[in-house]
Amino acid sequence: MNIKDVLKRPLCEIIDAIEARLSRPRLRIIKTLYVNFRCFPLRNAVKFPILIYGRFNILRLGRIRIEAPRIYHGMIRFGQFTNKTQCPTRIVNSGTIVFSGDCAVWGGVLLELGSGAELTIGEHSLLGENVRFMLRRKCVIGKYARIAFDSQFMDSDFHYMLNIEDGTVKNCTSFIEIGAYNWIGNRTTVKKGTVTPDYTIVAAPNAMLSKDYTKICSPFPILAGCPAKQIASGYRRVFNIQTERDLTESFKNDTGFITCDLSDNIDDFCNNHPKP
């Protein structure tokens, strides 16, 4: 490396930092004020538990509750990351949205709830860019869930169908329940009646879930396909940030795989928080 490259490198790093800061969505002060004081009692609203970033369209705010042991500043953040979307975050809520703890809702997310519908999002969960919820009944997202970009959740077919042979009409709506520590890959469609076990991984892209997988899957399953079925089991996503860093550093040597010591605590290896 010559002297020119040495001098250039710090300048490039400074420019990179400036670009990163300027590209981040700005905090929307007026909408942050409105959402907090519209949804929560004064003692909680003044803590500003919800922060709004970037483009944020309120078509109907509805009811938003936080059911957590502690309510604190910025525990729920809307629209802070928009790398994969040009759409605004949108709320069309005629029902109830319940946050069980801290949550990140990235840009372009659609939360559309019909009258009486309920969406419960577990603590430490993340909704990626362009994730869409179109609900008419109920959807529960378990804690530490990761929902990747462009996925969609629909607990209804939205229209009824008549069986002209026997005259029956089935209910077009049924609840959705996503287990704790689920990793839902991008462009997954989750339909009515879907129930997933804890620690489920849904392989991307274009999987379609539509049944109760707790009755047919082995522990720690991987689901894939349309319709989705189990293709493997016994795998866990690594949520532990320090473990991820250590693995990334190890793989810089172009190692095809690393064998870990399973005599160690697997929960500590995969998670940097208590087991649910």
Cα 191 to Cα 171: distance, rounded to the nearest angstrom? 13
Instruction: Output the six-digit token pair for 94.
Output: 């005629």
H or E, element range at 50? strand 50-52
> Up-side HSE of residue 235: CA atoms within 13 Å toward CB?
14
Cα 139 to Cα 136: distance, rounded to the nearest angstrom? 9
> Up-side HSE of residue 152: CA atoms within 13 Å toward CB?
11
CATH number of 16-236: 2.160.10.10
Per-residue pLDDT tens listing for the chain (276 residues): 566 665 567 777 888 878 777 778 899 999 999 999 999 999 999 999 999 999 999 999 999 999 999 999 999 999 998 988 989 999 999 999 999 999 999 999 999 999 999 999 999 999 999 999 999 999 999 999 999 999 999 999 999 999 999 999 999 999 999 999 999 999 999 999 999 999 999 999 999 999 999 999 999 999 999 999 999 999 988 888 888 888 888 888 777 777 777 767 788 888 765 443
Q: How would DSSP label each residue in 31-79? A: HHHHHHHHHS-HHHHTT--EEEBS-EEEEE--EEEE-SS---TTSEEES
- Domain limits of the chain? 16-236, 238-276
Q: Which of 175, 102, 80 is nearest to 135 (CA)?
A: 175
Q: What is the value of pTM for the model shown? A: 0.88
Q: What is the DSSP letter of 179?
A: P
Please report, as a single letter, which amino acid is at residue 67. Answer: E
Cα 150 to Cα 18: distance, rounded to the nearest angstrom? 29
Q: Is 60 helix (H, G, I), strand (E, B) or coil?
A: strand
Question: What is the distance of C-alpha 222 from the center of its chain?
Answer: 18
